[in-house]
Amino acid sequence: MIVKSMSRKVPSFGQLIGYIDRDEGQESYRIRHNLMSRDPARIRAEFERNGDLLQRRRNGVYLYHEIISITRAKGLSPEEQKSRLYEIAQSYIAARCPDNLVFGGLHQDKEHSFHYHLMMSANRAGETGRLRLTKNQFRQIQVGLENHVLEKFPELEQKVAIGKRSDRKLSQSETELERRTGQRPKRDEVLERVKEAFTMSNDRDSLLETLGRFDLELYVRGKNLGVIDHESGKRHRLKTLDAELADRIEGRMMELSEPEVKSAPEGEKEKGAETKERHQSQEASEPKTAKKSPERESDKDSYVKYGSNTDSKSEPASQQNPEAEQDLSEVQKDWKAEMDRHRSTGRDGPDRDRD
């Protein structure tokens, strides 16, 4: 199960209502918490009137867009799963913001999950101050909700995700920080974002795109996969964060990806989307002649970026089968070449990166 929160510093109530309300036939699962109206236009007006009460300040939050997602269970019908998710969303609202305005809708466009989108007012109904939770308070709500789901709805077949910690022991400074402030080590937050990205994706390309949405970038060095956290600029080896998850991500990166074209919801363009579109347009305008990139002198920084081309001396395993080679995308060929080259050299010496 995933619980994600995103704040907005502009009063884009109408846009988000339209996005939440886009799935037809889900009226019975609509959530209108502390709202008098049922019509989308009137609901927007209620949010705007309540938002007008907020004290004006620079970079002040107007609303929250939050997502609750569960993986699909094999032992229940879709309607039974959606009914339970509706109860889970109501429990979350009761713990998170019982006095705020909330509008929510259930989406089922993902083959592997059902999820709720919730729009929450930044302030309680009729109040001028913003409701703010610390990171520790929000995490307690997340973990409490997950425990509630695991105990009350075992038939949903959910696994521990939010409350799971890395097997790596905390350093003395990290232990002291958690004891004094209740804040988790930064790598635990990175691990949670990687897990969310993996759960929300279903193939290689969507995994890379979702990682980018969480300000993460996949890289490979030697025999190790890792992620760069662009929020802090630090690198983290996946096997250090979670060895099992590292194996699953490596397996997904080697899978074939089905071509899929999807547009992001209005007003929620993914980070890096403009760069990707610009890169694709440049590729289309360039002549289709093979350009041989110079050989890199060192493997110290070998990144795997979405849409990038890497050079390799070793022959990819897929070239042994011409038919399999035709089925691979250009990005996958680059990935396989990169992995084969590093594994053949086995470089993991004193210049390896630190987590």
Q: What is the pLDDT of residue 94?
A: 95
Residue 144 within a domain: no
Q: Which of 89, 116, 132 is the last residue of a domain?
A: 132
Do 201 and 315 fall within a single domain? yes
CATH of the domain at 107: 3.30.930.30
Residue 318 within a domain: yes
Do 124 and 44 fall within a single domain? yes
Q: What is the pLDDT of residue 291?
A: 45
Do 113 and 197 fall within a single domain? no
Give the contacts of 27 (CB within 8 A, at least 6 positions apart): none
Q: What is the pLDDT of residue 68?
A: 95
Residue carrying structure tokens 């695991």: 150
**What does the longest C-alpha to C-alpha distance in the chain come to?**
68
Distance CA 109, CA 115 (A): 9
Do 317 and 242 fall within a single domain? yes
Q: Which of 87, 104, 132 is the last residue of a domain?
A: 132
Distance CA 165, CA 168 (A): 8
Q: Which of 91, 113, 132 is the last residue of a domain?
A: 132
Count CB-CB contacts under 10 A for residue 342. 20
Strands (E), the chain: 2-8, 31-33, 63-71, 100-107, 113-124, 216-221, 224-229, 234-237
Structure tokens given for 192 = 């949670």
Domain that holds residue 105: 1-132
Structure tokens given for 168 = 């790596």
Distance CA 73, CA 52 (A): 42
Do 121 and 245 fall within a single domain? no
Q: What is the pLDDT of residue 172?
A: 57
Do 215 and 91 fall within a single domain? no
Domains contained in the chain, number: 2
Do 89 and 215 fall within a single domain? no
Residue type, 76: L
Residue 141 within a domain: no
Do 315 and 198 fall within a single domain? yes
Distance CA 350, CA 80 (A): 54
Do 119 and 218 fall within a single domain? no
CB-CB contact of 144 with 96 (8 Å): no
Residue 128 within a domain: yes
Residue 79 within a domain: yes
Residue 166 within a domain: no
Do 113 and 243 fall within a single domain? no
Do 231 and 98 fall within a single domain? no
pLDDT along the chain (355 residues), means of 10: 90 94 87 94 96 91 94 92 96 96 93 93 94 88 93 91 60 56 68 86 86 88 86 85 83 62 42 47 50 44 42 44 54 70 55 43
Write the DSSP assignment of 145-203 as a string of letters.
HHHHHHHH-GGG-----SS---SSPPPHHHHHHHHHH-PPPHHHHHHHHHHHHHHH--S
Do 11 and 79 fall within a single domain? yes
Residue 285 within a domain: no
Distance CA 43, CA 119 (A): 11
Sign of CA dihedral 75, 80, 82, 83: negative
Q: What is the pLDDT of residue 178?
A: 55
CB-CB contact of 122 with 62 (8 Å): yes
Residue 99 within a domain: yes
